[in-house]
Amino acid sequence: MKKLEVKNISKSFGDKQVLQDVSLELNDGELVCVLGVSGVGKSTLFNVISGLLMPDCGNVLLNGTDITNKPGNVSYMLQKDLLLPYRTIEDNVALPLLIKGMKKKEARKTVSPYFSVFGLQGTQKKYPSLLSGGMRQRAALLRTYMFSREIALLDEPFSALDTLTKSSMHSWYLDVMEEIKLSTLFITHDIDEAILLSDRIYLLSGSPGSITSEIIIEEPKPRSKDFNLSPKFLDYKRKILALL
């Protein structure tokens, strides 16, 4: 079932066209990745999908309803974790609920069962500055999830982490996704990460950026820990490198 449809999006800033005729779709429970080099317009695309930016033409449909330039419909996690330093983790995570008009007490109660699902037990009353990079990222993901169970847009969610933390976050993330089945569209410039996590990959390239190909990763989930060392994985990588 189609959750999200992005149809023929074009966007320019002044004279510079950034996106041209970008179309993609996301099905229920899918993990789809937009892969492309830095500066190709990935973040612009997400700003359009989230409703922050008005595209020059094209539209965005969520469950068939037009949400073009209407913020507040899909969860969006920006590149930095953006945890507010002056709020405890609990209150950071509860923020989307407060914005929807929920009372503080109720919001805290609603978020509390998810702390263990996201491996964040015991951090409720801590301030973000006391958490490690990986934990902060988990908290940011939980906040994204609290906003909406429909669709999450993740803009390079793991790019700020060191390699070791990143790979443990990948396996953690796959586990969590097994549990919460969130339809997710995420951006990365890391080919390995794209193959490891995604059901499908869209390649965004060129200037202005457009979708040049779509690759389906047929490896079943949950994927084994050493999938990224298998010949199949390398075949996908070779294929993508040739396309880029």
Partner 1 sequence: MKKSLNTPNKNFASCIAVLLLLVLWQSVCASGLIPEFLLPSPLEILKAFCDELPLLWDNTLITLTEAAAGLFLGMLTGFVSAVLMDTFGILYKAFYPLLIITQTIPTVAVAPLLVLWFGYGMAPKVVLIVISVFFPVTVGLLDGFRSSQKDAVDLLRSMGATRVQIFRYIKFPSALPQLFSGLKIASAYSIVGAVISEWLGGFSGLGVYMTRVKKAFAFDKMFAVIFLISAISLLLMGLVKFAEKRCMPYRNTDGKKGG
Q: Which is nearer to partner 1, 74 or 197 (CB)?
A: 74
Q: Mask of contacts with partner 1, 124-163, x by CB under 8 A?
A: --xx-xx----------------x----------------
Decide whether 13 or 244 has the Cβ nearer to partner 1: 13
List the x/- string, 10-49, binding to partner 1 by CB under 8 A. Answer: -------------------------------------x--
For 203, the token pair is 């390649």
For 136, counting Cβ atoms within 10 Å of its Cβ (0-12 exposed, 13-18 middle, 19+ buried), the class is: buried
Instruction: Map residue 65 onto helix, strand or coil.
Output: strand
Please give the residues from 49 up to 88 whose contact with partner 1 meets the rule CB under 8 A. 50-52, 71-74, 76, 78-80, 82, 84-87
Q: How many residues bind partner 1 (CB under 8 A)?
A: 27
- Dihedral of the CA atoms 225, 181, 193, 117 (nearest 10)? -70
- Minimum distance, C-beta of residue 164 to partner 1, in the bound complex (Å): 22
Rounded to a whole number, what is the largest CA-CA distance in the chain? 53
User: Rounded distance, CA 211 to CA 221, Å?
Assistant: 25
Radius of gyration of the chain (CA): 18
Residue 110 engages partner 1 in binding (rule: CB under 8 A):
no
CB 127 → partner 1: shortest distance, Å? 4
CA atoms of 203 and 83, how far apart (whole Å): 30
Count of other CB atoms within 10 angstroms of residue 97: 20
Interface positions with partner 1 (CB under 8 A): 47, 50-52, 71-74, 76, 78-80, 82, 84-87, 95-96, 98-100, 126-127, 129-130, 147
